[in-house]
Structure 1
Amino acid sequence: MGLLDDKRLLVTGVLTDTSMAFHVARLAQEEGATVVLSSFGRQMRITQAIARRLPRPAPVVQLDVSSEEDLAALAGAVGEHVDGLDGVVHSIGFAPQTTMGDNFLNAPWSDVAVALQVSAYSLQSLTVACQPLLQEGAGVVGLTFDASLAWPVYGWMGVAKAAFESCSRYLARELGPRGIRCNLVAAGPVRTTAAKAIPGFEAFETTWDQRAPLHWDVKDPVPPAKACVALLSDWFPKTTGEIVHVDGGVHAVGA
């Protein structure tokens, strides 16, 4: 028996085979799940190609989380491939370059608003869009980077992640009566495409190398992916509003 036998999942954010979302999808399939992916625009072809590298090729549906039209059509698009959802994985984040690095005091609201919509509000909009398909006992799992601290170079993305974490708690409160859980995995730094967009990302690598009680490999996206799979399973039936740290222990120790 697999951990996710007969589960039906929507996994967002698969762009390359180094993406944490790719490894969530891969491990989920290996544990028995049926997986649908999402992508949009020019990235659609890339995701479709990467989907063929999974143990079983997965369908890809259109989803730009900033598009009301895409969100309104999402349940129908996913419903063409599965008759319900037992889990949703949110692995979406974007912030204009003007909002990161040393630009915190100068970032314009128009760019900050994009970061907040795509990287925080999208957890709510994605979950609401999936509601018609979500079954009792379903789990929503998002990927975050510990927002309890102000990190160098992360800028407004750090603020967006703080809002993202708060949003998860409110979703847990609102969806709990329907038996739907919402949890996050706070991963340590991993060299993904998204990480490369952060100016000065090397500073995170140095911090983790020096502080992690458990060895942390920035080239290994599997540990946080495994935590996502576990939270999507039936082994956490009464856990919601939680943030599981998969960061080698850095969050627990002083500098």
Structure 2
Amino acid sequence: MPLLHVDHLVKDYRLPREAPWRAPETQRVLHGVSFTLEAGRSLGVVGESGSGKSTLARLVMALEAPTSGRVTLLGRDLHRLSPRELRLARRDFQMVFQDPYGSLDPRQRVGRIVAEPLAMLPEIDAAARRTRVAEALEAVGLRPGDADKYPHEFSGGQRQRIAIARALVTRPRLIVADEPVSALDVSVQAQVLNLLRDLQDAFGLTYLFISHDLAVVEYVCDEVLVLQHGHMVEHGPVAEVFRAPRHPVTQALLAAVPRLEAAGA
């Protein structure tokens, strides 16, 4: 059984009424997207702006409901779970967002930010929570003492490490990373990408990696899925797709994006 199975996922959004007497129209953002992701593997989802990448991420995270189709994680259809069941299931899948500062509450200390997902684990007491936070910070290259600081005291790359620590703290099986390095300098991108690879090796993580940058996906992912206007136009192993891209969108993305040579963290 694959860790994650996405089956014919469709998402429509209702548009504003053009006039009070007219029925609202809808816009289809995803058109029957399907894929499977095995445990310990990484799938990169790429496409131009507006291709549906972030919508797909929100549906996989059960932050929005699909118009039709299913998202099955560890055999559970996430969109058919009760609110309580979904809350408990979230220990198995977490998300890292694009903006490493906007995704962190500037009024909260790092320790509280990282510990926030542990609220869905009622069996974790205060002492275990502190231990989990310290372990997560150390896993991303920060110090346990950093738990007492605020996000503004860190660089952009360090703030993204904090966001990754928050995703790790529940010991999830799947991490959905939505453009996790696009807001960082190129040299810092390389450090964070190396960190993500190291964490995958250490903890057996599975990544769904959303990006517009095929060079980043080539470095991190085993497979790539290309979206255009919500349609899946190409899907396969990274090495094969990059060696012989079949679709014009894939060819254009490969031609337009400079390659990223990742350096040591």
Q: TM-score, normalised by structure 2?
A: 0.35
Larger RCO (CA within 8 A; separation ≥ 6): 2
Relative to the length of structure 1, the TM-score reads: 0.36
Report which of the two has the higher share of strand.
Answer: 2
Tell which structure's C-alpha radius of gyration is larger. Answer: 2
